Structure 1
Amino acid sequence: MALTRLTLTHYRNHADSRLDGARQFNLLVGENGAGKTNVLEALSLLAPGRGLRRAALTDIPGHGGDGGFAVSAELDSEVQLGTGVRADRPGRRVVQVNGADAPALRLGEWLSLGWLTPAMDRLFAEGAGARRRFLDRLVLALEPAHARNASRLEGALRERNRLLGEAVEPDPTWLDALEGQLAEAGALVAQARARLVARLSEALAVLPEAPFARPLLAYQPGGPLDPDALAAALRENRRRDRAAQRTLAGPHRDELSVIMAGKDQPAAECSTGEQKAMLIAITLAHAGLLDPDRPGLLLLDEVAAHLDPVRRAALFDRLRRGTAQVWLTGTELPPFEAIAGEAAVWRVSDGAVERLG
């Protein structure tokens, strides 16, 4: 099963765009600002979460509409996925599977999504939170239940921090129960992240050093991975956490360490080109882990244009051998000459799409 049709309604600058007949390679070409990345962002909303831009729902509806927007995708004429916002309920996301309302977490059961965008070039220079979100997205593509566990962790952590910040000392019995929930969800989240890093490391270990720099990954947990041990740590740290008015240990403090193998140098200290190459290597290795029985989408925004011909050819070859459906953007066709004959190609102009091949 694969995505065959995508429809955007009042989505940013796309008033009514329909892309039929998607293939393994799908190219969106057009000038900067034409709306190519908007299509990729719409696709990214077919997974739980806030999409590749992490935009607020209120920022997405296009001008001239009723204040709502819709994204609809068809999988081999058998499954219809939809998400958006209704005009009468602004800011509240609606998800449908085959016309029936469903929680956003259900989207992960139907599609595995991954993406690489220019904004991610700063991943190794940003704070640990950005790398945790990156890890969670990679985990979610392999383990749909991760979204529910992460949501439970976030809710329990938010409530514990609220109680720690109150003037009156919280009831220990209530904290025991809350910390038990936090530890249960947190351990599942941490264990899933650890599994993902281990699997990625195995996949990366067999890759050559060229043409993409090979990264060495290490998962650095922010607390115990065992639920009982994590609950005990939370209980023992209450006095310290109350002084700080926040929880200082747990999976919300996890870190992903990345080192360039060829130089034994931290990714943050590598050149921007080397960092980009390592991100591509991680993205390709992750795509190779996707479950072939669950449709996978790989969204690559302005990636090919920044690669030399050797690396572009290597990228296309790796993608061709994978199981994921690939969506790429670019300002012109020549960088994609090697795959143009086998790709579905659309020209995007001012929020309108035209099928070229």
Structure 2
Amino acid sequence: MASATDPSVSRVAVTALTLTDFRNYAQLSVRFDGRSVVLVGANGSGKTNLLEALSFLSPGRGLRRATYDAVARTGGAGGWTVHAVLDTDDGSVSIGTGTAPDGTGPRSRRIRIDGEDAPTSDALLTHLDVLWLTPAMDGLFTGPAGDRRRFLDRLVMALDAGHGRRVSAYEKAVRHRNRLLDEPGADAAWLDAIESEIARHGAEIVVARRHLVERFQVAIAAVPADPAAFPHAWIALEGDLEARAGPDVAPDALEAPFRDLLREGRPRDRAAGRTLTGPHRADLVVTHAEKEMPAALASTGEQKALLIGLVLAHAELVATANARAPVLLLDEIAAHLDPGRRGALFDRLDRLGGQTFMTGTDPILFEAIGDRAQIFRVSDGRLQPS
């Protein structure tokens, strides 16, 4: 598995960050030297807010999936900005994103790259990949299937920029079908048309997810087994349509069967008030490989280690596929790891070779990282080098 220490894999580092009216930061301007970064401070000091700001350097609504209005500072002008300078193999890149203050423009997010407006947020993927792990994801294996689907789709998006638009179009079409089914005497021709759209986008989603799972398994198998640190996790897709998707299936082969399932299921779906077949009902099944046990039945510590292992394997897959090491955002990553696993984590990140931003309440948790990272103390929305 390639890493940023491989000359075929480039490295991207955030070297400057400026925030205005973002969460608890009225104004912040900080420079980084290109190494990884550790943010230490009390709960509520603004560590996660800073990671969230960095997560807006990727498409979507950031690591908290917040609305744009929600991240604007209370008492501020209503808008917010995040500006970053990236150091890349091709030189420096400037990225700015944010929303206009109240009453001065649309509430949609604007993105500028080197001073030019970007047509869509997908343009950010030309310059960097941002991946993250947060405490909210700790219940991934025991929580609802929807959380695992969103996790999986985020993994797919890092390798397939169009996947996010695909999922949005599919979900919009499913909502439209649900409304039509609820209308007495709904026109069958309209249902046929919307179901054709659902089938097209849904088949593409299933194939994209299946392709990611296949590549992921190869990436996981390429990492030497180390159950004492981060055990291997095998993943699989479960669902009506997913069961029909063989290794080399194309979307066209799934589209007609899916359309037939939707048509046949109209009476059932009308009674249920929702569409009961499709990739929006799929689940990501995760297994502790060494113990051949569902991840949901593993101990809390094992689940955390499995999740970290999945995120690191995905980061390595992205580095190989995109020939560029991703920027990782790891919130409270060391809090529930014993010293051995903390050391293994820092060594694994070192081998990956990209820039990582980590948070924690106690600097002693990061002793093993040595001089491989800059350490900052965070207090009341301010950063001080430690």
**TM-score > 0.5 by shorter chain:** yes
Q: Which amino acid is the alignment partner of residue 262 of structure 1?
A: E
User: Equivalent residue for 1:131?
Assistant: 148
CA displacement, residues 8-55 of structure 1 (integer Å, 9 cap, x when unaligned)? 111111111123225241111112111000011111122222221122
Question: 1:36 and 2:50 equivalent?
Answer: no
Q: Which amino acid is the alignment partner of residue 70 of structure 1?
A: T
Query: Residues 44-193 of structure 1: matches in 2 within 5 Å?
Result: 44-76=55-87, 78-87=92-101, 88=103, 89=105, 91-99=107-115, 100-169=117-186, 171-193=187-209
Q: Point out where structure 1 has 5 or more consecutive residues left out of the alignment.
A: none
Equivalent of residue 297 in structure 1, options 323, 327, 332:
327
Q: Which amino acid is the alignment partner of residue 123 of structure 2?
A: R
Distance 1:334 1:118 in 2: 19
Question: 1:269 and 2:269 equivalent?
Answer: no
Q: Point out where structure 2 has 5 or more consecutive residues left out of the alignment.
A: 1-11, 246-253
User: Equivalent residue for 1:195?
Assistant: 211
User: Equivalent residue for 1:230?
Assistant: 258
User: Equivalent residue for 2:23?
Assistant: 12
User: Equivalent residue for 1:213?
Assistant: 231
Distance 2:353 2:202 in 1: 31
Structure 1 residue 270: Cα displacement: 1.6
User: Equivalent residue for 2:3?
Assistant: none
Distance 2:372 2:164 in 1: 35
TM-score between the two structures when normalised by the length of structure 1: 0.93
Q: Is the 8 A contact 2:301 2:336 kept in 1?
A: no
What percent of counterpart residues are identical? 49
Structure 1, 150-159 or 215-224: larger mean CA deviation: 215-224
User: 1:24 and 1:254, CA in 2 relative to 1: closer, same or farther beyond 3 A?
Assistant: farther
User: Equivalent residue for 2:267?
Assistant: 239
Is the partner of 1:183 in helix, strand or coil?
helix
Structure 1 residue 90: Cα displacement: 7.0
Structure 1 residue 218: Cα displacement: 1.2
Q: Is the 8 A contact 2:315 2:325 kept in 1?
A: no
Structure 1, 4-13 or 176-185: larger mean CA deviation: 176-185
User: Equivalent residue for 2:282?
Assistant: 254
Structure 1, 151-160 or 206-215: larger mean CA deviation: 206-215
CA displacement, residues 61-108 of structure 1 (integer Å, 9 cap, x when unaligned)? 113321111111222263322222212257532233333143233333
Question: 1:317 and 2:347 equivalent?
Answer: yes
Structure 1 residue 258: Cα displacement: 1.0
Supply the RMSD in Å over aligned alpha carbons: 2.0
CA displacement, residues 173-201 of structure 1 (integer Å, 9 cap, x when unaligned)? 22222222222221121111111122222
Q: Is the 8 A contact 1:110 1:294 kept in 2?
A: no
